Amino acid sequence: MNHKAIKREEGFWSAFVILFLLTLTLMGLGAHVLIKSEGPNTANLANTLQADYAANGVAYYGIRRLGLGALDESATLMIGHGSVTLDTTKVVGSNEILLTVLAVAGSTERGIEIRLKQGLRLVDMAIFTTGDVFNVSARDSTFALDPDRCVSNADSVPAIDENTLDSLSTDQGHDQYANPFKPSDGYPDGSFYRPDGVTPNVTHVMNDFKVQGGRTIYGIFIVEGDVTLDGSSRIEGVIYLPNPTSTVIHGGGLPTEATITGGIISHGDISGTGNHISVQHGPEYMRAFCHYQTGLDLVDFPVVKWEYI
């Protein structure tokens, strides 16, 4: 009897072991199949995430580079095991730029198309200041109102080669120490340029500067103190204030407004009293001034449309 019981128990344990081994085998096969199927899925997910993050990151980088004027028409960047291509195209018939971003990681591609409003640089401005602008309007070269020609509360003004401008003023005999300096009508010689027709007249005003009504003056004016422009006064040129001082423009009804044809670049506030206070962009004069610009512009490119493709 005991012998038979032992044999029955051996049969039970043999069957149990076989069933257990079969279960482990099936589990191993299942794990093997799962690993083989999930491996590519994991790789695809990694590529997708890399392409998404790369495309978005490089898009912001591209906008920043555009603002610095340092982005070529087409550029390719290597990021990790992938690549991102940036391309810029001028939108025909508009003042917009199309920035196209294409990121490739493995077999995954992600694209973004961004339409940006064309930014203006210092040379394109009538007014550029780190301070406030109040009751003074910016106009384009045709004298049409153009708010885009005015930048206020800027983080900084692009660096200017002040030493060269100061040297030009000294060499031309235009350093002025009166306080305030009140130039005569036609100052310094009735022209923005020196007799050579190329070099601008440059005047370095060491203190305050006041242009009296009815007078027209010419050239680039570097002013260390405050600037006051009376109604019906006129400047053919550029005013540059390297210090956080103010410009005050007194205007009246046409034709007695105070006007600047050229531009104002300031580290202080620009404000006006009266009516019809204007600063008209003068492309020729601003180009002459920006010849002495040494720092890169940082220009905003407002996003018009952002689309994933």
Average confidence (pLDDT) over 68-94: 73
User: Can you give the pTM of this predicted structure?
Assistant: 0.67
Average confidence (pLDDT) over 107-111: 83
Given a contact cutoff of 8 angstroms between Cβ atoms, the answer to whether 45 and 108 are in contact is no
pLDDT per position as a tens digit, 45-62 = 666 777 777 778 878 888
- Top pLDDT among 271 and 90 is at 271
Q: Is the pLDDT of residue 97 over 70?
A: yes
Q: What confidence score (pLDDT) does residue 58 get?
A: 78
Q: Is the pLDDT of residue 167 over 90?
A: yes
Residues above pLDDT 70, as percent of the chain: 78
Between CA 44 and CA 47 the distance in angstroms is: 5
Average confidence (pLDDT) over 165-177: 97
Average pLDDT of the chain, as a whole number: 82
Between CA 110 and CA 102 the distance in angstroms is: 6
Average confidence (pLDDT) over 254-272: 86
pLDDT category at 121 given cuts 50, 70, 90 is confident
Between CA 261 and CA 293 the distance in angstroms is: 19
Q: What confidence score (pLDDT) does residue 239 get?
A: 96
Pairing of strands 108-117, 74-79: unpaired
Between CA 123 and CA 105 the distance in angstroms is: 41
CB burial readout 280-295, b (16+ within 10 A) else e: bbbeebbebbbebbee
Q: Is the pLDDT of residue 160 over 50?
A: yes
CB burial readout 21-43, b (16+ within 10 A) else e: eeeeeeeeeeeeeeeeeeeeeee
pLDDT category at 41 given cuts 50, 70, 90 is low
Q: Is the pLDDT of residue 73 over 90?
A: no
Average confidence (pLDDT) over 204-226: 95
pLDDT category at 6 given cuts 50, 70, 90 is very low
Average confidence (pLDDT) over 30-39: 51
Between CA 106 and CA 54 the distance in angstroms is: 13
Q: Is the pLDDT of residue 168 over 90?
A: yes
Q: What confidence score (pLDDT) does residue 82 get?
A: 74
- Top pLDDT among 213 and 253 is at 213
- Top pLDDT among 218 and 67 is at 218
Q: What confidence score (pLDDT) does residue 304 get?
A: 85
> Please, which residues have CB within 8 angstroms of residue 233's CB and are 6 or more apart in sequence?
211, 212, 213, 214, 215, 216, 258
CB atoms under 10 Å from CB of 175, counted, come to: 15
Q: Is the pLDDT of residue 21 over 60?
A: no
Average confidence (pLDDT) over 121-147: 91
Domain spans of the chain, in order of start? 2-118, 122-290
Q: What's the distance, Cα to Cα, between the start and end of the chain in Å? A: 82
